[in-house]
């Protein structure tokens, strides 16, 4: 997994996880101009720019405006809800309703109705 250096706090950059690679975008000067043009934060824009530079298979990004821009640029996107859903499908998460409750309790901006719809489709108990 590649992370844009501009998007992550220092304590995450040095987590020691061997599967995390931190890389700065090639043209960081373009970030400020892109921020004014698109109205997104440095973190979202740097992830999109790095995704384009690396020809990433998929970007992990939740912000709707950033997701739309990434798709417009030809990038595939997946958010935290999609990651959790996929993890449940791979039996990496056993209690999806519980994980969704934790996600909501963390203050993440996620539509509760979306989570309820997913649980209903999967024939799982509601939140």
Give Cβ neighbours of residue 32 (< 8 Å, ≥ 6 apart).
none
User: What stretch of H or E contains 32?
Assistant: helix 29-38
pTM comes to 0.78
CA atoms within a 13 Å half-sphere pointing along the CA-CB vector of 117? 6
- The answer on pLDDT for 48 being more than 90 is yes
Please list the helix, strand and coil fractions of the chain in percent, rounded to the nearest 5, in that order.
55, 10, 40
Beta strands in 44-124 (DSSP E): 59-60, 77-78
Per-residue model confidence (pLDDT) at position 19: 73
Backbone phi and psi for residue 55, each to the nearest 5 degrees, phi listed first: 55, 55
Tens digit of each residue's pLDDT (9 = 90 or more) over 51-95: 999 999 999 999 999 999 999 999 999 999 999 999 999 999 999
pLDDT tens-place string over residues 109-120: 899 999 999 999
């Amino acid at each position: 997994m590649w992370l844009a250096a501009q998007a992550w706090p220092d304590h995450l950059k040095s987590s020691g996880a061997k599967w995390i690679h931190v890389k700065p975008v090639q043209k960081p000067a373009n970030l400020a101009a892109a921020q004014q043009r698109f109205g997104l934060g440095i973190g979202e824009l740097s992830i999109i720019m790095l995704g384009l530079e690396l020809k990433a298979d998929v970007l992990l990004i939740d912000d709707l405006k950033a997701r739309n821009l990434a798709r417009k640029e030809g990038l595939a996107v997946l958010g935290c809800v999609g990651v959790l859903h996929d993890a449940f499908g791979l039996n990496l998460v056993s209690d999806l309703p519980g994980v969704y409750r934790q996600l909501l309790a963390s203050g993440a901006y996620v539509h509760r109705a979306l989570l309820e719809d997913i649980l209903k489709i999967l024939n799982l108990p509601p939140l």
